[in-house]
Structure 1
Amino acid sequence: MAVPKRKMSRSNTRHRRSAWKAVAPTLVTCANPACGAKHIPHRACGECGQYGARAERRQVL
């Protein structure tokens, strides 16, 4: 098993751990004016099922 030869400083430890964090997802407004719900880009809307400017009615599970 690997064992560190030297003690890691607080700043180095915190700098390494700062990259390991959750990022809030990017949300966009639904293109359907009647809906206006927020959803993940390039995905169908979970409320109305619309994808982009297309007026297709898809069932979202």
Structure 2
Amino acid sequence: MAVPKRKTSKARRDKRRANWKLTVPGLIACPQCHEPKMPHRVCPDCGHYNGKQVVKAE
């Protein structure tokens, strides 16, 4: 069984735990209503996707 030869320092140990940050989602303007929306998704404001009305707008 493998056993460490030396103690792992706090700096080396804590480097592995530093990847918790999230990234901001990329938003684009809807071509119909020009509201920000996530790419490749139906616009929540107007209900258009790929130039067609797919969801009835409220």
TM-score, with structure 2 as normaliser: 0.65
Post-superposition offset of 1:20: 1.8
Partner of 1:47 in structure 2? Answer: 45
5+ residue gaps, structure 2: 1-5
5+ residue gaps, structure 1, are: none
Report Cα offsets for 1:13-42 as digits up to 9, x if no partner.
Answer: 2x333322111111111011xx11011100
**Secondary structure in 2 aligned to 1:17?**
coil
Q: 1:6 to 1:26 in 2, by over 3 A?
A: same
Q: Aligned ranges for residues 15-54 of structure 1 at < 5 Å? A: 15-32=15-32, 35-52=33-50, 54=51
- Determine the C-alpha separation between the residues in 1 that align with 2:39 and 2:31: 11
Higher Rg of the two aligned structures = 2
Partner of 2:7: 6
Query: How well do the aligned residues superpose, as a CA RMSD in angstroms?
Result: 2.4
Structure with higher strand content: 2
